[in-house]
Amino acid sequence: MWGTPAVKEIELAETLVEDIRGLDQVRFTSTGTEAVMSAIRLARAFTGRSLVVKFEGAYHGHSDGMLVKAGSGASTVGTQDSLGVPPGVVNDVVSLPYNDVTILEDTLAKIGDQVACVLAEPIVGNMGIVPPRPGYLERMKELAHDAGSLLIFDEVITAYRFHYGSAGSWLGVIPDLYALGKAIGGGLPQGAYGGRHDVMQYVSPLGGMFQAGTLAGNPLSAVAGLATLDVLRQENPYERMDRLATVLAENILDIARNFGHAVSINRVGSAFTVFFQEGAVYDYDDAKKSDATLFAKFHRLMLEQGIYLAPSRFEAWFISAAHSARDIDRTLEACRKSFRQLKPN
Ligand SMILES: Cc1ncc(COP(=O)(O)O)c(C=O)c1O
């Protein structure tokens, strides 16, 4: 490992900047956690403010502030507010219900002049898949800017998941800063953050906001990321992945209902979540109604048939480019057996 920029790192940076609207410049980190953490630090440096507004049940990695009312694994195992996070850090984070324009308006009307950034996943992946209501992201951006703060999209999951590029580009709402991870490392450690040119000027050595990492942008991760993006660009598997996800999700719904189980499914493209409850899911309060015990039983039944689902009622089912129609059939067969055997609590 040679701790200096590598040719492949620059190639990956140029690829990301070309693919993602609003990503004028980009810096690498080793994880998604660091990408979000650094983007927040940058927003604070740019605005000279401290507060971060984020959304309940979202997961933005495990930096201290992001563990205030966190989703995904943190909420699954009951450590939504992790021990070890100092009160000073907690005081600088405001968590609001997702998809509620009025609460966001009211909050920013009161404390907007102290807010460095509004941080959101444009399509939430960590309280289950929860898409934004129509107009919600547009209004979020408007309100953030009216308050003089920045909009950060955490696209660690969403970038390159629904189409080739960011979900922000896909949905037509371009944030001031992005946090990226997962796909851009092709299975190796990789994160990145970046966005508006004038904001990125604050990053050291040009500006006074420091961020570094021995392995950030290392050539091995850069090559893996480039290779993955190359396959996605060449093969464009998105339509096929969407089709497989549609077949899987629609059939799961039918099967569950045929066996008398109340489930609802939120699906966006190739990602969906089966909630063990009947109502629609727009925020974390809705998502929490999904029956944890029933999910756990279902998970066990699926595992016994060789299907390993993500081990949380708040996680998504992701169809990958490697999945085939046969995999979907096999999964549906297992679902049929599982829902047949699933006993209500
Ligand atoms: C939306 C989102 N942000 C940030 C992270 C943190 O990324 P990492 O686990 O690479 O630190 C995750 C991880 O699951 C995530 O889903």
pLDDT tens-digit series, residues 159-198: 999 999 999 999 999 999 999 999 999 999 999 999 999 9
Gap between the Cα atoms of 151 and 176, Å rounded:
5
SS3 of residue 310 by DSSP: coil
Gap between the Cα atoms of 261 and 98, Å rounded:
27
pLDDT tens-digit series, residues 102-136: 999 999 999 999 999 999 999 999 999 999 999 99
- How big is the CA angle at 200 (ends 65 and 144), to the nearest 5 degrees? 55
Ligand 1 mutation pick, 30, 37, 59, 166, max ligand atoms within 8 A of CB: 59
Range among 60-74, 81-95, 118-132 rated most confident = 118-132
Architecture of the domain made up of 7-234: 3-Layer(aba) Sandwich (3.40)
* pLDDT value, residue 80: 67
List strands edge to edge, sheet with 150-154. 25-29, 191-195, 177-180, 150-154, 115-120, 51-55, 93-96
Q: What is the rounded average pLDDT of the residues 238-265?
A: 97
Q: If you measure from the C-alpha of residue 292 to the centroid of ligand 1, how many angstroms do you get, rounded to a whole number?
A: 23
Gap between the Cα atoms of 35 and 121, Å rounded:
13
Residues that are catalytic: 59, 154, 182
Gap between the Cα atoms of 217 and 185, Å rounded:
9
pLDDT tens-digit series, residues 30-42: 999 999 999 999 9
* pLDDT value, residue 125: 95
59 lines ligand 1 (CB under 6 A): yes
* Atom of ligand 1 lying closest to residue 33 CA: 11
Residue 77 has pLDDT above 80, yes or no: no
- Residue 234 one-letter amino acid: Q
Q: What is the rounded average pLDDT of the residues 257-286?
A: 96
* pLDDT value, residue 339: 97
Q: If you measure from the C-alpha of residue 182 to the centroid of ligand 1, how many angstroms do you get, rounded to a whole number?
A: 8
Mean pLDDT of the chain: 95
Domain ranges of the chain: 7-234, 238-341
61 lines ligand 1 (CB under 6 A): yes
237 lines ligand 1 (CB under 6 A): no
Q: If you measure from the C-alpha of residue 262 to the centroid of ligand 1, how many angstroms do you get, rounded to a whole number?
A: 30
Q: For domain 238-341, which CATH number applies: 3.90.1150.10, 3.30.1120.80, 3.20.20.70, 3.40.640.10?
A: 3.90.1150.10
HSE-up of residue 228 (Cα within 13 Å, Cβ side): 25
33 lines ligand 1 (CB under 6 A): yes
- Cα Rg of the chain (Å, integer): 20
pLDDT tens-digit series, residues 203-220: 999 999 999 999 999 999
* pLDDT value, residue 81: 79
* pLDDT value, residue 62: 96
SS3 of residue 24 by DSSP: coil
* Atom of ligand 1 lying closest to residue 155 CA: 1
* pLDDT value, residue 284: 95
71 lines ligand 1 (CB under 6 A): no
Q: Find how far residue 42's CA is from the centre of its chain.
A: 19
Q: Model confidence at 75, in pLDDT bands (50, 70, 90)?
A: low
Residue 345 has pLDDT above 90, yes or no: no
pLDDT tens-digit series, residues 224-233: 999 999 999 9
Q: Between the CA of residue 326 and those of 73, 96, 254, what are the distances in Å? A: 30, 41, 19
Q: If you measure from the C-alpha of residue 180 to the centroid of ligand 1, how many angstroms do you get, rounded to a whole number?
A: 9
Q: Between the CA of residue 127 and those of 17, 121, 123, 252, 265, what are the distances in Å? A: 29, 11, 11, 19, 13
Q: If you measure from the C-alpha of residue 337 to the centroid of ligand 1, how many angstroms do you get, rounded to a whole number?
A: 33
Dig out the tokens for 111 from the structure: 């404390």
- Of all protein residues, whose CA lies closest to atom 13 belonging to ligand 1? 61
pLDDT tens-digit series, residues 297-342: 999 999 999 999 999 999 999 999 999 999 999 999 999 999 999 9
HSE-up of residue 343 (Cα within 13 Å, Cβ side): 1
Q: Model confidence at 90, in pLDDT bands (50, 70, 90)?
A: very high
38 lines ligand 1 (CB under 6 A): no
Ligand 1 mutation pick, 33, 153, 193, max ligand atoms within 8 A of CB: 33
